[in-house]
Amino acid sequence: MPGCLRTYNDAAAARPAPGAARLITLVQTARAATDRGTAHFHTRLGLTALHLAAPAHPKQSTLLCADLAVDACRTASAYPALELLDDPLYRGQAAPELVL
């Protein structure tokens, strides 16, 4: 992911992260190709983007949480759901009905 490191460096230096919105878009594009074998990876990728983008783009991050929940429900594997429910930022940003 070309934007991850740049966004991380901006966040670590407490600079505005203009690439964070682009990062969310790139992650959403990558998630579109999710199949059962890569669902866990794409969930972790989405959570990474969430952690990098949430401070600068809370609205887009909330939408990403909803997308991640839908993806987790579509898979036959429990691992993506466990990743989401184990992540404190996801639990804080996601709508309450997505965290039950």
pLDDT tens digits, 45-85: 888 888 888 877 788 888 888 888 888 888 878 898 899 99
- Per the structure, the complete domain to which residue 92 belongs is given by 2-98
Q: Full-prediction pTM beyond 0.85? A: no
**What count of residues does the chain have?**
100
Number of domains in the chain: 1
- What pLDDT does residue 51 have? 85
Instruction: Tell me if 90 sits within 8 A of 52, measured CB to CB.
Output: no
Q: Position 6: which residue type?
A: R
Q: pLDDT band for 1, please (50, 70, 90 cuts).
A: very low
pLDDT tens digits, 19-33: 666 767 777 776 666
